[in-house]
Amino acid sequence: MNALKAVGDLLAPRECLVCGRRLGVKETHLCIWCAADLPLTRYWTRIHHPMADRFNEVIERHRLPAGKEPYAYAAALLFYRSGNPYRRIPQAVKYHYNRAAGRYFGRMLGDYLSGAAHFKDVDLVVPVPLHWTRLFARGYNQAEVLARAIAQRLGVPCRDLLRRTRRTRTQTRLSVEEKARNVSGAFRLRRRTSARHILLVDDTFTTGATLYGCFAALRAALGEEVRLSVCTLASVTEL
């Protein structure tokens, strides 16, 4: 395998996703220096942290008719900071067709989650869906690439439980409220499930509006009994 990689490296040298340094045979996606410095959130070790707080604020603000909503668990593998070269990891997975990196970092997140007590009983992993027109244009759903790798590590199934019924506007210039309105009602359940703890997966957590759109659709369709948690490859939140 290494010999094969070495030959491959001669033909098309592999580079570190973060610093661009040429990778050695034993390095995968990152050079040893960038791998040693990964900005891990370690959110999976705690129930309360800035990402979970922010997501639970969104839930609270929209208060579902069901009434009492338990504090939702959340986790991300890496911090996403503008200007920080590590942002190239989620960008590679989302925009640069790097599905292998998606699988690699998805497995890494899955391993961390499998060691966390509050994610132990997750029995289904569900990716945030892309609208079919976007899926057609990109060729793959980056959230699904991550979700499948996470599910594999957790030893549970991964299913496309949700469908994006309409294409939402580009979110970058919208306020949190506008984003939530933009995605509310954009997701529908496409099949039933008997899962008790569902883990929703997306590539990056910013305001939580998209994940909330999925959360609300699942809550409305599946009722109060199901626990809904979220995780992403990267999060813009701080320590």
Phi, psi at 4, each rounded to 5°: -65, -45
Distance CA 180, CA 209 (A): 5
Which one of 23, 27, 29, 31 is in contact with Zn ion (CB under 5 A)? Answer: 31
Question: Hey, is 15 helix, strand or coil?
Answer: strand
State yes or no: residue 58 binds Zn ion (CB under 5 A): no
Q: Pick the piece of the chain touching Zn ion (CB under 5 A) from 10-18, 123-131, 183-191, 199-207.
A: 10-18
Q: Where are the alpha helices (DSSP H) in the chain?
A: 2-11, 32-36, 50-62, 88-95, 99-114, 132-138, 142-154, 176-183, 209-222
Q: Which of 19, 47, 174, 189 binds Zn ion (CB under 5 A)?
A: 19
Stretch touching Zn ion by CB under 5 A, among 19-27, 38-46, 79-87, 148-156: 19-27
Distance CA 122, CA 197 (A): 5
Q: Is 101 in the site for Zn ion (CB under 5 A)?
A: no
77 in Cβ contact with 109 (< 8 Å):
yes
Q: What is the CA radius of gyration of the chain?
A: 18
Nearer to Zn ion (CB atom), residue 25 or residue 64? 25
Question: Does residue number 16 form part of the binding site for Zn ion (CB under 5 A)?
Answer: yes
* Nearer Cβ to Zn ion (22/196): 22
- Cβ-proximal residues to 189 (8 Å cutoff; 6+ apart), any chain: 161, 162, 163, 217, 218, 221, 222
For residue 26, the minimal CB distance to Zn ion (Å) is 14
In the complex, the smallest distance separating the C-beta of residue 102 from Zn ion, rounded to whole angstroms, is 18
Does 34 bind Zn ion (CB under 5 A)? Our answer is: yes
Q: How many residues bind Zn ion (CB under 5 A)?
A: 6
CB of 14 to Zn ion, least distance (A): 11
Distance between CA atoms of residues 176 and 84, nearest Å: 24
Query: Among residues 19 and 135, whose Cβ is nearest to Zn ion?
Result: 19
User: Minimum Å distance from CB 31 to Zn ion?
Assistant: 3
Least CB distance from residue 204 to Zn ion, whole Å? 21
Residue 23 found at the interface with Zn ion (CB under 5 A):
no
**Residue 18, interface with Zn ion (CB under 5 A)?**
yes
Strands 162-164 and 187-189 turn out to be antiparallel
Question: By the criterion CB under 5 A, which residues form the site for Zn ion?
Answer: 16, 18-19, 21, 31, 34
